Amino acid sequence: MLPDFGVTEETIIHVLQWLRLFIETTGAAIVGAGVIQVIFQLAMAAIKRREASYNAIRLTLARYLALALEFQLGADILSTAIAPSWDQIGKLGAIAIIRTALNYFLSREMAEERKAEENEKTVRSDKAG
Distance CA 25, CA 74 (A): 12
Q: What is the number of H-type helices and E-type strands within the chain? A: 3, 0
Q: Any residues with CB less than 8 A from the CB of 80 and at least 6 apart, and which?
A: 89, 92, 93
Q: What are the extents of the domains in the chain?
A: 5-128
| Residue length of the chain | 129
What does the pLDDT read at residue 52? Answer: 63
Mean pLDDT by 10 residues, the chain (129 residues): 75 90 96 96 83 78 89 85 77 84 85 82 76
What does the pLDDT read at residue 22? Answer: 97
What does the pLDDT read at residue 64? Answer: 93
